[in-house]
Amino acid sequence: MQKDSLLEMRGIYKTFPGVKALQNVDFTLKEGEIHALMGENGAGKSTLIKVLTGVHVKDGGEIFVRGRENAVHINSPKQAQALGISTVYQEISLCPNLSVAENIFLARGKGIGVNWRNMNKKADELLKELGINVRGSQQLASCSIAVQQMVAIARAVDMECQVLILDEPTSSLDESEVAKLFVLMRKLKERGVGIIFVTHFLDQVYEVCDKITVLRDGKLVGEYEIEKLPRLQLVSKMLGKELDDMADIKNDSPTFKKTDDKPVYEGEGLCSSEGISPFDFKIHKGEINGFTGLLGSGRSECVRTIFGADKVTGGSVKIDGEPVKITKPRQAMKYGIAYLPEDRKRDGIVGDLSVKDNIILALQIKTGFFRPISKAKALEYANKYIDLLDIKTASVNTPIKSLSGGNQQKVILARWLLTEPKYLILDEPTRGIDVGTKVDIQKLMLKLASEGMSVTFISSETDEMLRTCSRLLVMRDRKLVGELTGDQLNQNTIMATIAGGDTNGEQ
Amino acid sequence: MANNNAQPKKAGIAGLFRHQIMIPIAALMLLVLFNLIADPSFFKITLGNNSDGNPVLNGYLITIIDSGSELAILALGMTLVTAASGGQDISVGAGIAIAGSVLLRVLCGTETSPETLHAPVIVAFLVSCLVAMLFGAFNGSLVAFFKIQPMIATLILFTAGRSIAAWINNNQLPNVNEPSFSYYGTYIPGIPIPTPFFIALACFLVTWLLLRFTTLGLYVQSVGINEKTSRLNGLNPELIKLLTYILLGLCVAIAALIKVSRLQTINYSVIAKDIEMDAILAVALGGNALGGGKFSMSSSILGAYVIQFLTTTLYKFQVKADALPAYKAVVVIILVVMSAPAVREKLSMLIKKLRSEKPAAQNS
């Protein structure tokens, strides 16, 4: 173990049934360092964090912590804490109805007596030292989310932690709150604390971090000094696309000739309660376009706004040139819009219901309360789509939750295709499903578009989008920052636009 | 239930065991078996004359289908409420007091024992339906729009309901002298089977039609299982939840008609006391998840009659009324534990194991 290291993880392995979550991953954290851990979904960031905090036990590899001679075994969160490893999660895990001081010292006193005055005094000192503007006696719930976050950090720091893990701490903070958090992080850095910072926001990484470790598909891509890794390269490493690969980008990128004057869907100044900047969007008959950007960049929020899935807070919509109002999914469905959500489990499936019921659900709701689809008809629909999409299920009456992820996805796709939409929105339809199915879904999209359906497609895999979309809208930090068509549709331009900042990617 | 033929043949007993209607059926069989052994005369039905000289059927089985009616009717609404909102309405007993009080208020006006009724029974019944549905809507809106836990939301009426009922009639206990009013709770002259049973049957039929000819069942289950998905598929989960509470209100009014008609009067603090617990138990005994989601209406109905069967059995063996709940509790514990998913899983695994051992033994 190197002298200035606080933490060294060597050759970490972790396997879950069917998934190699971590394979031979190294990670080093030095004293007084803010170290960003980057990677797209499923890269292994959270597994690595959980191995470190004792939530998961590693299958192989060694972990060294300063102050211990030998490799340590972390089998529980409590052990991790004893080794000086503290975590502040995205969701605040404090008790809102207790005071700030109580939260900081909760469950840590020796014996059963509590010296209240002493505790409040000590809390005030600590908070002052860290520059957190709150009194120890204040009730936690009365503080803003940012302050609560910082109190959680103060609690971690006071437990004499040397390694502080911040897991997406900024996702629910506004800009000025983020700035305050960064001040605190720099203060801790001066005290020699090593911070592991997990975030999706590129700007924040470049603002506050010293080093970046990139993971992809459970493997280590590399560890980089921040100055030596321009944004563009970071994005390319996260997505796993070498910049040189751009040469072989196919020339047959989809082109689209519009056949109508009025777009099928046209929105202006759309925004929702999920905090995306107002954006304009339109799609023509038979067109396939897509939203791209890193995870958390706001691409899903855009399509959710179009469908009325989130609370729509502004903007105007035209369907076939006619102004209409879409604030609820029901209204969107009425105008022939269908939406396959990103989070299949939370928003897509109705777990205990059968495959058949899941397939007919949207159509049934569209047909209405007093016109139930007959059993025979429902069976016919279900069997038709089970054949058409090659859904692997024991029977039409099997609960959808017992199907594999890819097959669940196909059932939800079937549900929406059954409603014969004019405009189909697919948010990450190919995530977590096998390659064959992915290709099937892409082919299906192209076929539907050739039959006149409009499709908006979101995928974390850029080449999938390049293969299908004739127009890409690029999102960064919840803003629509570019629109790419024709020659611009290649990996390099997309990555440059996603990265923004120090590149000339702004189109 | 028309199960699809595409279903691959499941291991017979284990598959059957997993179906939820097996729980009330098994409980019923246990009770039947117990009574057969203890005293087979339990099942005897005789034809006799009642005090008015009309022919009526007598016997414990008749008592069960008679007194179980209110419970079975309530179980219908309670099943829907449970499935959609993942919680239970504990104010149905108090609701019956209110609906019954309204019924008497309309029938008797302000007199305590009128010579002639002030309004036709049907009018009084419709008014009480309206009031009960309004109270249902009150519960429903607390649950659906204010996201209050069902048990807490309905605790309000559970506490206040009986006082409201007393207030409606100025704390009087009106008495109906018109004999035809008793037909709903006892017998129609010439028909030897108690009327409440027919009312319950009519309710089952209406419910069946509702589930068959509307999409209520699918919507309620969908909302109960995954509210977010339901919303994204164009449902209004709040409205569906509200609707189930209003429907339960209707069930409450019907049960109130039977209860009041049986007595020809009302006792605000005693009428339908603790019936909410039995109604919830009927839903649970039917194998329906009290956390909401999928439901089986026929299992709930059967569950209600099993509870009545149990109560009647206990009465027959001269268990005192005040000791009844304790005995019931013991039986309920056994039934509920047996029907818990964890236990059922273990049981079906045990059966599977036994089945797989048998052929192995034959081979060797």
Structure tokens at B335: 């039934």
Report chain B residues touching chain A, CB-CB < 8 A: 2-4, 6-8, 212-216, 218-219, 221-222, 225-226, 228-236, 293-294
Gap between the Cα atoms of B249 and B129, Å rounded: 7
Q: Is residue B47 part of a domain?
A: no
Question: Nearest chain A Cα to B209, which residue?
Answer: A370
Q: What is the mean pLDDT of chain A?
A: 84
Query: Reduced to 3 states, what is the DSSP secondary structure of residue A365?
Result: helix
A388 min Cα distance to partner chain B (Å): 17
Mean pLDDT in residue range B65-72:
95
Gap between the Cα atoms of B283 and B176, Å rounded: 34
Query: Is residue B255's pLDDT more than 80?
Result: yes
Residues B293 and B349 in one domain: no
Q: A107-147, pLDDT tens digit by residue?
A: 665 556 667 778 888 888 888 877 788 888 888 888 877 78
* DSSP H or E segment with residue A496: helix A491-499
Q: What is the pLDDT of residue B194?
A: 93
Q: Is A307 on the interface with B (CB under 8 A)?
A: yes
Residues B343 and B196 in one domain: no
B332 min Cα distance to partner chain A (Å): 27
Q: A468-488, pLDDT tens digit by residue?
A: 888 999 998 888 998 988 888
Gap between the Cα atoms of B75 and B190, Å rounded: 30
Of A221-235, B8-22, B37-51, where does mean pLDDT reach its minimum?
B8-22
| Confidence grade of residue A247 (pLDDT, cut at 50, 70, 90) | very low
Residue A350: list chain B partners with CB under 8 A: 221-222, 225-226, 229-230
Q: Is residue B345 part of a domain?
A: yes
Q: Which of the four CATH numbers 1.10.3720.10, 3.40.50.300, 3.40.50.10140, 1.10.287.3510 does domain A245-336+423-429+451-507 have?
A: 3.40.50.300
Q: Is A396 on the interface with B (CB under 8 A)?
A: yes
| Confidence grade of residue B4 (pLDDT, cut at 50, 70, 90) | very low
Q: A329-356, pLDDT tens digit by residue?
A: 999 999 999 999 988 888 999 989 999 9
Q: What is the pLDDT of residue A172?
A: 67
Question: Is the CB of B2 less than 8 angstroms away from the CB of A375?
Answer: yes
Q: What is the pLDDT of residue A278?
A: 92
10 Å Cβ neighbour count for A117? 8
Q: A389-417, pLDDT tens digit by residue?
A: 888 888 899 899 888 777 888 999 999 99
A216 min Cα distance to partner chain B (Å): 31
3-state secondary structure A429-461: CCCCCCHHHHHHHHHHHHHHHHCCCEEEEECCC
A361 min Cα distance to partner chain B (Å): 7
Structure tokens at A393: 């299920």
Question: Is the CB of B216 less than 8 angstroms away from the CB of A330?
Answer: no
Residue B221: list chain A partners with CB under 8 A: 350, 352-353, 357
Q: Is A487 on the interface with B (CB under 8 A)?
A: no
Q: Which of A148, A154, A108, A107 is nearest to A130 (CA)?
A: A154
In this prediction the pTM is: 0.76
Question: Is the CB of B228 less than 8 angstroms away from the CB of A339?
Answer: no
- The strand pair at A423-427 and A337-340 is best described as parallel
Q: What is the pLDDT of residue A435?
A: 64
Residue A305: list chain B partners with CB under 8 A: none
| Confidence grade of residue B3 (pLDDT, cut at 50, 70, 90) | very low
A112 min Cα distance to partner chain B (Å): 35
Residue B214: list chain A partners with CB under 8 A: 369-370, 372
Residue A379: list chain B partners with CB under 8 A: 4
Residues B182 and B246 in one domain: yes
Q: B293-343, pLDDT tens digit by residue?
A: 999 999 999 999 999 999 999 888 888 888 888 888 887 787 678 767 777
Residues B144 and B293 in one domain: yes
Residues B188 and B242 in one domain: yes
Q: Quote the ipTM score.
A: 0.84
Gap between the Cα atoms of A342 and A278, Å rounded: 21
Question: Is the CB of A329 less than 8 angstroms away from the CB of B234?
Answer: yes
Q: What is the pLDDT of residue B8?
A: 39
Residues A303 and A312 sit within 8 Å (Cβ to Cβ): no
Mean pLDDT in residue range A280-286:
92
Q: Is residue B198 part of a domain?
A: yes
Q: Is A379 on the interface with B (CB under 8 A)?
A: yes
Q: Is residue B256 part of a domain?
A: yes
Q: Is residue B18 part of a domain?
A: no
Where, residue-wise, is CATH 3.40.50.300 in chain A? Answer: 5-229, 245-336+423-429+451-507
The CA-based dihedral angle spanning residues A203, A207, A211, A215, taken in that order and rounded to the nearest 10 degrees: -20
Nearest by CB to B233, from A365, A370, A371: name it: A365
Gap between the Cα atoms of B250 and B126, Å rounded: 10
Residue B4: list chain A partners with CB under 8 A: 356, 379, 395-397
* CATH number for the domain that contains residue B245: 1.10.3470
Structure tokens at A156: 């971690």
Q: A1-28, pLDDT tens digit by residue?
A: 777 888 999 999 988 776 788 999 999 9
Mean pLDDT in residue range A226-232:
85
Nearest by CB to B7, from A307, A328, A395: name it: A395
10 Å Cβ neighbour count for A251? 5
Q: What is the pLDDT of residue A246?
A: 41
Q: What is the pLDDT of residue A34?
A: 94
Question: Nearest chain B Cα to A359, which residue?
Answer: B233
Alpha-carbon dihedral sign for residues A246, A250, A254, A257: positive
A90 min Cα distance to partner chain B (Å): 22
Question: Is the CB of A333 less than 8 angstroms away from the CB of B6?
Answer: no
Residues B292 and B341 in one domain: no
What is the CATH number that goes with domain A5-229?
Answer: 3.40.50.300
Nearest by CB to A364, from B7, B218, B236: name it: B218
3-state secondary structure chain B: CCCCCCCCCCCHHHHHHHCCCHHHHHHHHHHHHHHHHHCHHHHCCEEEECCCCCEEEECHHHHHHHHHHHHHHHHHHHHHHHHHHCCCCCCHHHHHHHHHHHHHHHHHCCCCCCCCCCCCHHHHHHHHHHHHHHHHHHHHHHHHCCCCCHHHHHHHHHHHHHHHHHHHCCCCCCCCCCHHHHHHCCCCCCCCCCHHHHHHHHHHHHHHHHHHHCCHHHHHHHHHHCHHHHHHCCCCHHHHHHHHHHHHHHHHHHHHHHHHHHHCCCCCCCCCCCHHHHHHHHHHHCCCCCCCCCCCHHHHHHHHHHHHHHHHHHHHCCCCCCCHHHHHHHHHHHHHHHHCHHHHHHHHHHHHHHHHHHHHHHHC
Q: How many domains does chain B have?
A: 2
Question: Nearest chain A Cα to B221, which residue?
Answer: A353
Question: Nearest chain A Cα to B233, which residue?
Answer: A362
Gap between the Cα atoms of B198 and B204, Å rounded: 10
Residues B73 and B157 in one domain: yes
Q: B18-37, pLDDT tens digit by residue?
A: 677 888 888 899 889 999 99
Question: Is the CB of A353 less than 8 angstroms away from the CB of B221?
Answer: yes
Range(s) of the domain holding residue B251: 30-41+59-318
Q: What is the pLDDT of residue A342?
A: 86
The partner residues of A167 in beta bridges, in order of sequence, read A198
Residues B181 and B240 in one domain: yes
Question: Is the CB of B232 less than 8 angstroms away from the CB of A347?
Answer: yes
Q: Which of B335, B290, B328, B284 is nearest to B308 (CA)?
A: B328
